[in-house]
Amino acid sequence: MGVIGTNKMQKGDVLMNFELQDDDLEEIAKIRKLGNVTADKLTFTLLLGGALVDAFIAGYLPQYFYYWHTLKYLVLMPIRWFHYKQKRHHYFLLDFCYYTNTLLLIYFWSPWQPNWLFPTVFVFSHGPLLFATVIWRNSIVPHSLDRMTSVFIHLSPALTTWGTRWYSSVKQEFSLCAQPTEPGPNGCNHIGLRELVTGPLVFYLVWMLLYILVVQVWRKERVRKRSYATSVTWMTESTKKGFLYHLFSICGKRYLKIFYFAWLTVYTWVGLLSAFLSYHWMEFGTIIMAFIVLIVCYNGASFYLKVKQHSDYKGKLSNDNNIKEKG
């Protein structure tokens, strides 16, 4: 089969430690074993082809991108849950990025299609979710279903809401705010900080409260006894180096988790302010998305260079060359 890694490796790689992690080495080992196998070729082709389809639909039919996003979500999420469950990482699926994707699907597919929800989904997608690609160092690696799924989770909602915000037609009957002044995208140009920052912060605080109650209170002992990985444990316990860890531990280990959630709240608020600009100026949002895509591609290139430069990979190439020479 194609290479399927873990999100744990990506989460520890950014702003904390840029060296190869244990899970990086696992992926290197899998890439070294790739041969003339149809499944491996199909994995690479489908994942890279999916990225190309993303670009095509976003450029040619942006108002219908939500169909493509929904289809990919229905395919990728069950696969992710299955593999994360096996690796004891399924509590990562309670993270804010999955919460936002759920809100997005509720807006587009629920029978009542709540018009007041779109501003929240938009700013979440263009703020904290989009910048999470940098924080967690997401990367385009077509050999890795896990890495490509992480890119999808963080980047695709921005493309979806961007297409709806700027290119949806009156016939689609999307209400992009609670009180539009006219049908279509221009009917919500007037909304301000209350709809685009204050309201979304309430939704964020609801998620954070539920997350703390489930992961840090209700399931705390279960998570500890079974060694389940969560974003909180990974950022405050598993990876004890890098800028963010030193920031969280500035007042000692006792307050690590408090500082983590405080930082997450400030980060979300700053992201919402950036998304506020993206909602009102298409050019600004487009530039930000293009910049993020370049970073994701750069991270992918960096990973492949690490693979190529790694001693295990060099040893594999050396052995292959020796076999060819002997043959």
Express each pLDDT in 54-78 by its tens digit: 999 999 999 999 999 999 999 999 9
Q: At what angle do helices 118-126 and 256-280 cross, to 10 degrees?
A: 110
- How confident is residue 4, by pLDDT bands cut at 50, 70 and 90? very low
- Mean pLDDT, the chain, rounded, equals 84
Q: Is pLDDT at 316 greater than 80 in this prediction? A: no
Taking only the tens place, the pLDDT of each residue in 270-284 is 999 999 999 999 999
- How confident is residue 291, by pLDDT bands cut at 50, 70 and 90? very high
- How confident is residue 193, by pLDDT bands cut at 50, 70 and 90? very high
State the pLDDT at residue 17: 42
- 123 and 275 Cβ atoms separated by less than 8 Å: yes
State the pLDDT at residue 111: 87
Asked which of 4-18, 22-36, 122-136, 247-261 is least confident by mean pLDDT, the reply is: 4-18
State the pLDDT at residue 232: 84
- How confident is residue 250, by pLDDT bands cut at 50, 70 and 90? confident
State the pLDDT at residue 256: 81
Which one is predicted more confidently, 238 or 41?
A: 41
Which one is predicted more confidently, 177 or 24?
A: 177
Q: Is pLDDT at 310 greater than 80 in this prediction? A: no
Q: Which of 2-16, 148-162, 170-184 has the highest mean pLDDT?
A: 148-162
Domain extents in the chain: 7-17+38-315
Instruction: Express as a percent the part of the chain with pLDDT over 90.
Output: 57
Taking only the tens place, the pLDDT of each residue in 95-107 is 999 999 999 999 9
Alpha-carbon gap, residue 45 to 98, rounded angstroms: 26
Asked which of 59-73, 219-233, 245-259 is least confident by mean pLDDT, the reply is: 245-259
- How confident is residue 36, by pLDDT bands cut at 50, 70 and 90? low
Alpha-carbon gap, residue 185 to 170, rounded angstroms: 8
**pTM for the whole structure:** 0.86
Q: Is pLDDT at 319 greater than 70 in this prediction? A: no
- Mean pLDDT of the region 126-143: 92
